[in-house]
Amino acid sequence: MKARYIASWASAVAVATALTMGSAAVAEDDTIKIGVPVGLSGANSVVAPSVVQAGELAVAEINEAGGLLGRKLELVVADDGSGAQGAQKAFDSLVFQKEVDVLISMETSAARNAGLPIVNRGKVPFIYTSFYEGRSCSPWLYVNAWVPEQQVAPIVDHFMGKLGSKTFFLVGSDYAFGRGMLEFTRSYIADNGGEVLGEEYLPMDGTDWTAIISKLKSANPDALITSTAGGAPNVTLTKQLRAAGIDIPYGNLAVDEGTARNMGADAAGIYISASYITGIDSAENQGFLKAMAAHFGDELKTPNDLSVPQYEGVYLYKLAVEKAGTTDSQAVIDALDEVAFMGPRGRIQMNKQRHAPLTMYLGQVTAEGGVDVIASFKDVDPGEQCPNL
């Protein structure tokens, strides 16, 4: 008995020792480190490579132009597993092990929320580059992507104005983004004199929309707006809507250009609203696309509404550091809302309660899988996000 028990404890000690030796100290060097916690695995793994590429391009461009304060930039990527547990590890690793100077990343809301306490403890500036449901506030957080206030208006305005829709049906996945978006959509429609005939949710991993589609058909609305979780729920809903022969105007708040393309014929006719579409006709965007193609060649992942803000986020950080003259966290945070960057999406300045007014584009997916820009809305205000900051 004793032998067995000593063996047990001894192996525990051995494991602890092995762990100790595994964690060698990180060498001190002179680069400015940009931490990118991102979903290399899990739900976000589809889009994460394009996000990393956009960040890499910005870093390469800045380094080629002489770096920042005479120092080179370095991108440190960590997998957050697209969830809270993975994000804690990723943020811990970046903040405490790699000791990055700033965090710039696109993440799920759960991952962002899981990372924020670590950011607060480590006192590192954090530029969040993913659209989200809004109202995430921390002294260390800036956001350069859209919130419901910015995304919903273009679709609803177009449906009610140009298409004459009066009645709406809303469908979403039961999670923070889905509920947040549709909550705002409902009140926006009501404020503009429209009527919401129904608002239905399916669990986040739900894929059987049968009953909801039947309800939708019997409600017979003029238009449909959906906000599901990305990936499977979005695709299944679209497929099942099409299979049921529903052809009313369909605005999808959760689909991006790339996914729409992947869905093929089922996606044709869907309206999307985004701050970035590859077809934006500006010198900055054309230059950006060319640079991406030149830098990555065959490996290129198509830039999108989640990767472009990452590119711009790196530049916004660069401008803030230059303005502050230091990488000191507090000084950078103070400078971040004073700098503006002309990027592929236009002029970005995060000066509205830590959020940025954005030019929004209304697009419609074509049968060939492209996206036609139907209208653009300049500098849409993010509204009241963090009134206390």
- Binders of other proteins among residues 73 to 132 (CB under 8 A) are 77-79, 81, 83-86, 88-90, 92-93, 96-97, 108-110, 112-114, 116-117, 120-121
Cβ 239 to other proteins, closest distance in Å?
A: 6
Judged by beta carbon, residue 112 or residue 355, the one nearer other proteins is 112
Residues between 308 and 327 with contacts to other proteins, criterion CB under 8 A: none
Is 202 a residue that touches other proteins (CB under 8 A)? yes
Residue 29 CB neighbours (<10 A): 9
Instruction: List the x/- string, 222-251, binding to other proteins by CB under 8 A.
Output: -------x-xxxxxx--xx-xxxx------
In the chain, the DSSP E strands lie at 32-38, 73-79, 102-105, 126-128, 141-143, 167-173, 195-202, 223-227, 250-252, 271-274, 341-343, 346-348, 358-365, 371-380
HSE on the CB side for 106, CA within 13 Å?
A: 31
* 355 secondary structure, DSSP code: B
Kindly state the helix (H) or strand (E) to which residue 191 belongs, with its residue range.
helix 176-191
In 228-305, the DSSP E strands lie at 250-252, 271-274
Q: Is 274 exposed, middle or buried (0-12, 13-18, 19+ CB in 10 A)?
A: buried
Let me know: does 39 contact 107? Beta carbons within 8 Å. Answer: yes
Judged by beta carbon, residue 41 or residue 187, the one nearer other proteins is 41
Judged by beta carbon, residue 82 or residue 359, the one nearer other proteins is 82
Judged by beta carbon, residue 41 or residue 286, the one nearer other proteins is 41
Cβ 41 to other proteins, closest distance in Å?
A: 4
Judged by beta carbon, residue 176 or residue 331, the one nearer other proteins is 176
Instruction: Quote the crossing angle between the two packed helices 148-161 and 176-191, to the nearest 10°.
Output: 50
Residues between 337 and 366 with contacts to other proteins, criterion CB under 8 A: none
Query: Which of 217, 295, 323, 347 forms a contact with other proteins (CB under 8 A)?
Result: 217
Judged by beta carbon, residue 88 or residue 275, the one nearer other proteins is 88
Judged by beta carbon, residue 176 or residue 300, the one nearer other proteins is 176
Is 367 a residue that touches other proteins (CB under 8 A)? no
Cβ 5 to other proteins, closest distance in Å?
A: 6
Residues between 20 and 59 with contacts to other proteins, criterion CB under 8 A: 20, 22-23, 25, 40-41, 45-46
Cβ 177 to other proteins, closest distance in Å?
A: 7
Q: How far apart are CA 161 and CA 180, in angstroms?
A: 24
Residues between 255 and 294 with contacts to other proteins, criterion CB under 8 A: 259, 262-266
Residue 223's DSSP bridge partners are: 168
Cβ 108 to other proteins, closest distance in Å?
A: 8
Residue 286 CB neighbours (<10 A): 12
Residues between 156 and 185 with contacts to other proteins, criterion CB under 8 A: 174-177, 179
Judged by beta carbon, residue 117 or residue 279, the one nearer other proteins is 117
Q: Which of 109, 154, 106, 155 is nearest to 135 (CA)?
A: 109
Cβ 335 to other proteins, closest distance in Å?
A: 24
Q: How far apart are CA 274 and CA 272, in angstroms?
A: 7
